[in-house]
Amino acid sequence: MATLIDAQGLRKRYGDIQALDGASFRVETGRIVGLIGPNGAGKTTALKAVLGLARCEGSLKVLGLDPYRDRDQLTEQVSFIADVAVLPRWLRVEQAVDFVAGVHPRFRRERCEAFLERTAIRRGSRIRELSKGMITQLHLALVMAIDARLLVLDEPTLGLDILSRKQFYDSLLSDYMDAERTILVTTHQVEEVENILTDLLFIDRGRIVLDLPMDDIPARYAQLLAAPGQVEAARALKPLSERQLLGRNVFLYEDADPAALAALGEVRQPSIADLFVAKLRGAAA
Amino acid sequence: MNKFQWLVRRELWEARAVWVAPAICAAILVGGTLLAAFGMGTVSVDGLGPEQLTRLHEQMTAEHVEGIAAVALGGIAFPFYILVLFTQFFYAIDSLYGERRDRAILFWKSLPVSDAETVLSKLWVAAVVMPVVAAAAALATQLVVFAIAAAKLAPLDLPQLHLWAPSLWGNTLLVMGYGLIAGMLWYLPLVGWALLVSAWAPRSPLMYASLPPLAVGLAEYIVFHSHHALAVVGERVGNLGLLGHAFASHAKGGGFGIVMTAEHLEVPRSLVETMRPAAFFGSAEVWIGVAVGAAFVAAAIWVRRSRDEAA
């Protein structure tokens, strides 16, 4: 598997804020990687570094190139949706399609048209006349018709209703993703991307605190609903976190012995959200 | 179409002032001509009675008529050249700021278009497309206004009147084309400055564009009690600087002017005589301005490239 992004020790300061503080990670071709972190953790800064929009200290290679210095060479291979609301409001739908077709050598117009056929978007409309969901559909139609190696999505579904959010990820998986493509996505709505990600990157205060393929979660992390009377025993196994849920104590463990946990109560696979809370609380302690 | 043509096309989709402003100007001039020709009764000349007018008419040669017609054509074109000064400046000062204001810059930057290509497409529209469109609109207006005049004057049967003389229109095209190119060079630093401020200003680029020259002018006045800096800027901003450099506006007979009294009639044979191309294209001031303009544009490209939009 080829390494698409290789970041080592990324650092970036904005005034008093250390946005990136030695973040290191790799992204392999064909993966869908979720970059997840609390507000101000450095998610957007990391994406901007990858896109060559911000200069960072440290070593960063995207497709073997320095994204800041060689940005003009990378823009054909790397597409991104920064935010659903960034399409220029004065532009008409047909103009948007014409323009991208005109300037992007890897844009496949028929794919874009086919996608738009399935929406209610009228070609003559200006973007300001479209609903937020439609703007996202249009943006996605434009981006999905580009044969890019890497697609970067920064909070792509922010402000969308549940239906549009679901449609967004459905189209991304069914119409876009294949073995040659790679997606790097940040979002706060972790439960939405839970089922589409292949890899997790947790970022907190400018550092990567967890870098894990989704497939490894069951083997490495377990959530225990402790049976009454087993709470002290459960604490003795050094959980990452402990919380109360409907009067029961819930523990989350990293690399614990499954047999030992099974003896103490009900064992489940933690959700990304549970894992996120546990890991970040751990990092904060 | 190549990439640059698409970029220019995108600008024309967005900036409708490129053709709307000259179209409005043309509509006003043509409307005014129609009103003057057919709406009102007679045209009178101040201070000259019917007798004197008749005498003037008698001494008028075809050459005089062509001179007057040339001045009239120049007068029609002039508002377009003034108007484009405003439209190109306001277009340039909004272009790179506007894409940041509506956050669309992140969409444009997601496409394989470099910062240099983007800024140069905006420069091309402001510095070349807008003046050319304005000149074309001026020419169209001249044709329409003269057609109206021809229709109005036809019943009078004036033998000296050659409204469509090839020499008249050839000379007019020459003067307009020369003025167009001279204007492009002369105003390049202004357009470049507008693009730079537009790329850089955190807000209200118009204010940021005017503050530095005013501050420099004020500082110079306080320290040296002189105002050379403001004079340099003023000469660029208005149209007098350009006219003074590219044309001899104080040539005999008042340059562009017509002297018409009861006893005396003096008109320039053609405006071509007022052109000073050798002096203009040989002037250091012109080429220093072009170099400064190019430096501003390069700086605008650099600012757009390295500007890191706050997270």
Interchain proximity B104–A89, CB inside 8 Å: yes
A87 → closest Cβ in B9, B104, B114? B104
Interchain proximity B308–A48, CB inside 8 Å: yes
How far apart (Å, rounded) are the C-alpha atoms in residues A128 and A226? 53
Q: A220 and A177, same structural domain?
A: no
How far apart (Å, rounded) are the C-alpha atoms in residues B116 and B45? 55
Q: A186 and A232, same structural domain?
A: no
Taking CA atoms, what residue in B is nearest to A44? B311
Q: A143 and A48, same structural domain?
A: yes
Query: Which residue would you say has higher pLDDT here, B60 or A62?
Result: A62
DSSP B39: I
| Mean pLDDT along residues A145-157 | 90
- What is the percent of chain A where pLDDT is above 70? 98
What average pLDDT is seen over chain A? 89
Of A9-23, A142-156, A205-219, B37-51, which range is least confident?
B37-51
Q: Which of A139, A171, A205 is the last residue of a domain?
A: A205
How far apart (Å, rounded) are the C-alpha atoms in residues B196 and B88? 14
Q: How many residues does chain A have?
A: 285
The predicted complex's ipTM stands at: 0.88
DSSP secondary structure letters along A54-75:
S--EEEEEETTB-TTTTHHHHT
Interchain proximity A89–B102, CB inside 8 Å: yes
CB–CB contacts below 8 A, A to B: 77
How far from the centroid of its chain's Cα atoms is residue B272's Cα? 18
* Range ranked top by mean pLDDT from A27-41, A179-193, B56-70: A27-41
Give Cα separations from A36 to A83, A240, A272, B226, B256 (angstroms).
16, 18, 10, 61, 71
Q: Which chain B residues touch A149 with a CB distance below 8 Å?
A: none
How far apart (Å, rounded) are the C-alpha atoms in residues A262 and A278? 20
Q: Does residue A210 sit within a domain?
A: no
- What is the percent of chain A where pLDDT is above 90? 49
Would you say residue B45 has pLDDT above 60? no
| Mean pLDDT along residues B215-241 | 84
Residues 6+ apart with CB under 8 A from A186: A34, A35, A36, A37, A43, A44, A47, A153, A154, A155
DSSP A205: T
* Separation in Å, CA of B114 to nearest CA in chain A: 6
SS (H, E, C) B87-126: HHHHHHHHHHHHHHHCCCHHHHCCCCCCHHHHHHHHHHHH
Q: A127, exposed or middle or buried, with CB in 10 Å at 0-12, 13-18, 19+? A: buried
Q: A110 and A220, same structural domain?
A: no
* Separation in Å, CA of B201 to nearest CA in chain A: 18
Q: Which of A205, A232, A256 is the last residue of a domain?
A: A205
| Mean pLDDT along residues B218-230 | 85
Would you say residue B215 has pLDDT above 50? yes
Interchain proximity B6–A103, CB inside 8 Å: yes
Q: A184 and A47, same structural domain?
A: yes
**Domain count of chain A?**
2
List, in sequence order, every residue forming a beta bridge with A208; answer none if it has no partner: A203
Q: Does residue A181 sit within a domain?
A: yes
Q: Which chain B residues touch A99 with a CB distance below 8 Å?
A: 6, 9-10
Would you say residue B155 has pLDDT above 80? no
* Separation in Å, CA of B181 to nearest CA in chain A: 30
Give phi and psi for A209, each to the nearest 5: -105, -10
Q: A185 and A255, same structural domain?
A: no
Q: Which chain A residues touch B311 with a CB distance below 8 Å?
A: 14, 19, 44-45, 48
Q: Any chain B CB within 8 A of the CB of A159?
A: no
* Residue B67 contacts residue B274 (beta carbons within 8 Å): no
DSSP B52: H
Q: What is the pLDDT of residue B42?
A: 54
Q: Any chain A CB within 8 A of the CB of B114?
A: yes
Q: What is the pLDDT of residue A51?
A: 93
Q: A241 and A142, same structural domain?
A: no
How far apart (Å, rounded) are the C-alpha atoms in residues B85 and B78? 11
Q: What is the pLDDT of residue A25?
A: 95
How far apart (Å, rounded) are the C-alpha atoms in residues A119 and B116? 35
B113 → closest Cβ in A48, A79, A103? A103
| Mean pLDDT along residues A38-50 | 89
Q: Does residue A98 sit within a domain?
A: yes
How many other C-beta atoms can be found within 10 angstroms of the C-beta atom of residue B294?
14
Q: A239 and A137, same structural domain?
A: no
How far apart (Å, rounded) are the C-alpha atoms in residues A59 and A7? 6
Q: Does residue A220 sit within a domain?
A: yes
Q: Does residue A152 sit within a domain?
A: yes
> What b-and-e string marks burial along B112-136, b requiring 16 or more CB atoms within 10 Å of the CB?
bbbbbbbbbbbbebbbebbbebbbe
Give Cα separations from A86 to A71, A115, B100, B110, B309 (angstroms).
20, 20, 10, 11, 13
Q: Which chain B residues touch A19 with a CB distance below 8 Å?
A: 311
Q: Any chain B CB within 8 A of the CB of A54?
A: yes
Interchain proximity A95–B13, CB inside 8 Å: yes
Q: A229 and A117, same structural domain?
A: no
Q: A197 and A76, same structural domain?
A: yes
Q: Any chain B CB within 8 A of the CB of A72?
A: yes
Q: Does residue A211 sit within a domain?
A: no
How far apart (Å, rounded) are the C-alpha atoms in residues B261 and A46? 78
How far apart (Å, rounded) are the C-alpha atoms in residues B2 and B25? 32
Q: A200 and A237, same structural domain?
A: no
Q: Does residue A106 sit within a domain?
A: yes
A79 sits in which H/E element: strand A78-81
Q: Does residue A122 sit within a domain?
A: yes
* Separation in Å, CA of A120 to nearest CA in chain B: 22
Structure tokens at A4: 């698409």
Amino acid at site A155: E
Q: How many helices (H) and strands (E) does chain A have?
A: 11, 13
* Residue A261 contacts residue A252 (beta carbons within 8 Å): no
Q: What is the pLDDT of residue B253?
A: 42
Q: What is the pLDDT of residue A174?
A: 84
Q: A100 and A151, same structural domain?
A: yes
Q: How many residues does chain B have?
A: 311
How far apart (Å, rounded) are the C-alpha atoms in residues A53 and B172? 50
Q: Which of A176, A205, A234 is the last residue of a domain?
A: A205
Interchain proximity A103–B112, CB inside 8 Å: yes
At residue A279 the predicted structure's pLDDT band, cuts being 50, 70 and 90, is: confident
* Separation in Å, CA of A284 to nearest CA in chain B: 23
Of A12-21, A129-138, B30-39, which range is least confident?
B30-39
Range of the domain at A227: 216-284
* Residue A211 contacts residue A201 (beta carbons within 8 Å): yes
Domain CATH code at residue A192: 3.40.50.300
Interchain proximity B110–A95, CB inside 8 Å: no
Q: Which chain A residues touch B106 with a CB distance below 8 Å?
A: 80, 82-83, 86
Q: Any chain A CB within 8 A of the CB of B9?
A: yes
A203 sits in which H/E element: strand A199-204
